[in-house]
Amino acid sequence: MRVRSASAGTVHVVGAGLAGLAAAVELAGEGYPVVLYEAGAHAGGRCRSFYDAELGVRIDNGNHLLLSGNEAALAYIARIGACATFESPDVAAIPFVDLATGERWAVRPSRGAVPWWIFSRARRVPGTRARDYLAALRLRHAAPGDTVAAILDRNTVLFRRLWQPLVVAALNTAAEEASAVLFGRVLADTIGRGAAACRPMLAREGLSESLVDPALADLARHGGEIRFGARLKALGLAEGQVKELLFDGETAPVMPRDDVVLAVPAAVAGRIVPGLVVPDDYSPIVNAHFRHRAPPQAPLFLGILGGTAEWVFRKRDILSVTVSAADRIVGRPADELRDLLWRDVARALGLAPEPTPPARIVKERRATFRATPAQLDRRPPATTAWNNLHLAGDYVDTGLPATIEGAIRSGIMAADRITRRRNSPMAPIKYSSAARPLSITTQDCQRTLP
């Protein structure tokens, strides 16, 4: 473990979601003294697990799918020693079922970046031709104000059966509103890189066991301090610096050599930081967790077309459903949603439609910012007008949507800025959305994946 001089100054990380955790473990691993503050009693933010007394099982707050090409996330997972807590199929494939026709298929990218797979009927979407996929190249030339539906033809089979489900899942925004530029980046980083970047990764036990608890343990091993129940009310700002952190009932001084990473939700950051512009339009997600053991042949996850449910995930003793950009259903009663979504799951997995098993409906009305061109213009950089104040969070301009990968990348970017600023205090820092080469690479995790 590297140990920095005490004169190096403390890094105060406010917010213990994945962005704050990523910044904290990266900096602590580099030997900096770190104090992590969290308003709640638990770390992880929207990405955590909890015991549901009514269902009698442990469930995740929401459903999150990582891919082997998520470089920042895999580097973070490797750093905290959690690679073995994930399961991944041997073949990179995205399985689908169309409830309207009964067809089943899986999109299976080629091993390399050259998309040979589009020439194989067995690998591509039924009813599509190889040349249909070439239309996605138009996304490379999309203007900042273009939406996905304005670039890709909505009337094609490929749009309905692949592009649209992927847009909604990755951006939590309808294709008619979603940024074409942002979706183009998502495709380039996943399917565009071939099978090596498309292996799905799911937490074997739960999100907390894979992404949160190991991070807290790693932070403690490196001497980091963790304070729960610390709700930030305001920043003491003067002379171009943060001078103090004002919490409920406590004030933490910020010394001249200290840094602050503000990793709180966008709305909180916008209230606390003077003049900060942040996204202000949010899109909901509805999750349903059914206490039902999956049939043996069920895939780890499955895309569902022609129904209300969009994705179903197989977990231990639980089948979990996600509906993104869920404006159309978020206001419906939980009992109604439970029956509606179970009917889709039952048809997709060949299960009895009745009786509906016990379920927990989780509505996230402000799950992520809506990934429209107008909202992307409101994403701030990690830099601020205060030299020792840095932003982290999935709303920060990372070049990615508001996903686990985006949140973790923002934390690593903030840590990178602090490291470079301290190592070269006289040199101007040109902020970039690309993080420095990671000290722990994706290969470290990929080698240990089951």
Average pLDDT, the chain: 92
Looking at residue 429, its pLDDT comes to 39
State pLDDT tens for residues 382-402: 999 999 999 999 999 999 999
What CA–CA distances, in Å, run from 339 to 107, 289, 318, 392? 29, 12, 16, 39
35 pLDDT tier (thresholds 50, 70, 90): very high
CA nearest to 348, candidates 64, 106, 98, 94: 98
Q: How far, in Å, CA of 242 to CA of 225, rounded?
A: 20
Looking at residue 431, its pLDDT comes to 35
441 pLDDT tier (thresholds 50, 70, 90): very low
241 C-beta neighbours (distance < 10 Å), count: 17
Q: How far, in Å, CA of 190 to CA of 446, rounded?
A: 15
Structural domains in the chain, sorted by start: 6-46+206-278+373-446 (3.50.50.60), 94-197 (no CATH)
**Over residues 214-226, mean pLDDT:** 97
Asked if the bond preceding 355 is cis, omega within 30° of 0, the reply is yes
State pLDDT tens for residues 160-201: 999 999 999 999 999 999 999 999 999 999 999 999 999 999
State pLDDT tens for residues 36-49: 999 999 999 989 99
CA nearest to 139, candidates 173, 187, 93: 187
State pLDDT tens for residues 201-213: 999 999 999 999 9
Q: How far, in Å, CA of 136 to CA of 117, rounded?
A: 15
121: which residues sit within 8 A by CB, 6+ positions away? none
Q: How far, in Å, CA of 396 to CA of 417, rounded?
A: 14
Looking at residue 421, its pLDDT comes to 85
Handedness of CA 80, 314, 173, 164 (dihedral sign): positive
State pLDDT tens for residues 367-380: 999 999 999 999 99
Q: How many CA atoms lie within 13 A of 408 on its CB side?
A: 23
DSSP codes, 138-203: GGGG--TT-BHHHHS-TTSHHIIIIIHHHHHHHHSS-TTTSBHHHHHHHHHHTGGG-GGG--EEEE
400: which residues sit within 8 A by CB, 6+ positions away? 182, 185, 186, 189, 406, 409
219 C-beta neighbours (distance < 10 Å), count: 24
Looking at residue 269, its pLDDT comes to 98
